[in-house]
């Protein structure tokens, strides 16, 4: 847990004094990722650098796991926190293994433990230890280097991780991938993370909570959904963008918007005439065709008319299937692209988990707005 209490930082003195952060108070709970977001010069990086005392605090207190950081030895404090920066900062004179071993070595772990830890960390960030262990940083691509940077930050298993625009210098394709990998890692490791970013998309993707800064002030500290649906003021709504409703689609998971028990189902072994009668009776424009609880395609009354076979043979295949954890945005994109008004959603076994339609999406967005008005 990191607690910021009335944290103020003033650079310089007298008429040249610049207030970098002004009376900022908020708390990052255990296992939560807080993204510090804002335009450059808003104080977000200063906030992060005060957390491990790379910058001094002018007024206020920062407590880490309940302890005031000013009462701690700065080196001890930093050894207990992972630190990952935009410039990556791998030591070019050390091999990948030596880079990862820096903090464990300073903590005087024994050699065998460090060696095992290096391989464990490399595997964790999807780099084959056999290939990369003894290479030098210059031999790796930017994305690979930052994977090592993350591994180095996590090597001594700190409960807290400070990340200063860690993926900012990586090309967009690799950035997306490394963000996904990091999310997967964080799902397992549950670190308490302070993460500086200037990218609203990254913040929405990575954050449990977003702290939006402007001119040294904390403007809003809330979940990404709340920031998008309920911006505290014009600055926040401008910063998150006019398309914030669309950004919500990227945030909402399909499982939260889908209909978990669609009624328009047909078994694949049903005869076409019976199926047609059923659809006409219930006025279904189309139905999902299921075999062994897996969706195999869809069918419309037009497909069934004058046909005698089984439904399974007449069904049209789905161009795409969606997982429960995918963002609603992907569902909407697929529906628009393939001109379908509904798509099946499958679980990890490939079984039907539900269905998602334009109406479901609309309803879930409306629900978010209604929740706002309740508060």
Partner 1 sequence: MNLITFLQDNYAQTLFLTWEHIWMVSLSLLIAMAIGIPAGIVITKNKVLAQKVLGGANVIMTVPSIALFGLMLPILAVIGHGLGKVPAVIALVLYSLLPIIRNTYIAIKNVDPALVDAGRGMGMSKFQLLREVEIPLAVPVILAGLKTAAVMNIGIAAIAAYVGAGGLGVFIQQGIARSHETMILAGALAVSLLAIIVDLAMSTLERLVTPKGLKL
138 near partner 1, rule: CB under 8 A: yes
Segment contacting partner 1 (CB under 8 A): 9-17, 94-102, 189-197, 212-220?
94-102
Contact between residue 306 and residue 215 where contact means Cβ atoms under 8 Å apart = no
First and final CA of the chain: distance in angstroms? 26
Tell me which stretch binds partner 1 (CB under 8 A): 99-107, 245-253, 315-323, 355-363: 99-107
Stretch that binds partner 1, among 31-39, 78-86, 291-299, 303-311 (CB under 8 A): 78-86
Asked if 8 and 21 count as a contact pair (C-beta separation under 8 A), the reply is: yes
Binding test (CB under 8 A) with partner 1, winner from 64, 69, 77, 304: 77
For the segment 173-232, give every residue that binds partner 1 (CB under 8 A).
Answer: none
Query: Which span sits near partner 1 by CB under 8 A: 15-23, 130-138, 195-203, 230-238?
Result: 130-138
Backbone angles phi, psi at 311, to 5 degrees: -60, -40
- Per DSSP (E only), the strands in the chain are 2-11, 18-28, 33-37, 59-64, 67-68, 81-85, 160-164, 192-197, 209-214, 217-222, 265-267, 287-291, 294-299, 322-323, 342-346, 352-357
Establish if 103 lies at the interface with partner 1 (CB under 8 A): yes
Any contact of residue 127 with partner 1 (CB under 8 A)?
A: no
- The reply to whether 106 sits near partner 1 by the rule CB under 8 A is yes
Binding segment (CB under 8 A) for partner 1, from list 76-84, 208-216, 272-280, 339-347:
76-84
DSSP type of residue 103: H
Closer residue to partner 1 (CB): 85 or 193: 85
DSSP assigned state of 28: E
Q: Binding residue for partner 1 (CB under 8 A) from 21, 33, 46, 52?
A: 52
**Contacting residue, 21, 33, 34, 78, with partner 1 by CB under 8 A:** 78
Cβ contacts of 264 within 8 Å, gap of 6 or more: 282, 284, 286, 287, 288, 355
Residue-by-residue DSSP string for 309-350: SBHHHHPBPPS--EETTSBHHHHHHHHHHHT-SEEEEE-TTS
- Other beta carbons within 10 angstroms of residue 355's beta carbon come to 22
Q: Which of 5, 26, 31, 54 binds partner 1 (CB under 8 A)?
A: 54
The binder of partner 1 chosen from 109, 136, 235, 358 (CB under 8 A)? 136
Instruction: Note the residues at the interface with partner 1 (CB under 8 A).
Output: 52, 54, 75-79, 83, 85, 87-95, 102-103, 106, 136-139, 152, 162
């Amino acid at each position: 847990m990191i607690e910021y209490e009335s944290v103020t930082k003033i650079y310089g003195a007298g008429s040249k004094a610049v207030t970098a952060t002004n009376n900022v108070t908020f708390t990052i709970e255990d296992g939560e990722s807080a993204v510090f977001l804002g335009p450059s010069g808003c104080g977000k990086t200063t906030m992060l650098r005060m957390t491990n005392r790379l910058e001094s605090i002018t007024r206020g207190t920062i407590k880490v796991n309940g302890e005031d950081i000013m009462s701690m030895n700065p080196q001890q404090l930093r050894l207990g926190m992972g630190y990952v920066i935009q410039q990556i900062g791998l030591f070019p004179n050390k091999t990948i293994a030596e880079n990862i071993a820096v903090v464990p070595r300073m903590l005087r772990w024994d050699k065998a433990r460090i060696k095992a830890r290096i391989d464990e960390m490399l595997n964790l960030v999807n780099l084959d230890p056999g290939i990369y262990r003894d290479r030098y940083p210059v031999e790796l691509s930017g994305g690979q280097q930052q994977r090592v940077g993350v591994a180095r930050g996590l090597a001594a298993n700190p409960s807290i991780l400070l990340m200063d625009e860690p993926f900012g210098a990586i090309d967009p394709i690799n950035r997306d991938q490394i963000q996904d990998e990091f999310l997967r890692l964080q799902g397992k490791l549950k670190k308490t993370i302070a993460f500086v970013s200037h990218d609203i998309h990254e913040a929405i993707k990575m954050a449990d909570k977003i702290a939006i800064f402007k001119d040294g002030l904390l403007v809003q500290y809330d979940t990404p959904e709340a920031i998008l649906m309920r911006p505290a003021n014009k600055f926040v709504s401008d910063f998150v963008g006019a398309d914030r409703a669309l950004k919500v689609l990227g945030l909402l998971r399909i499982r939260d918007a889908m209909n978990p028990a669609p009624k328009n189902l047909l078994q694949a072994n049903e005869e076409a005439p019976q199926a047609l009668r059923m659809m006409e009776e219930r006025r279904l424009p189309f139905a999902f065709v299921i075999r062994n609880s897996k969706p195999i395609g869809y069918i419309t009354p037009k497909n069934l008319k004058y046909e005698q076979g089984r439904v399974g043979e007449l069904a049209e295949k789905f161009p795409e299937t969606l997982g429960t954890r995918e963002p609603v945005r992907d569902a909407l994109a697929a529906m628009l692209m393939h001109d379908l008004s509904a798509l099946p959603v499958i679980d990890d076994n490939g079984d039907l988990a539900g269905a998602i339609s334009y109406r479901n999406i609309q309803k879930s967005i409306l629900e978010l707005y209604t929740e706002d008005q309740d508060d």
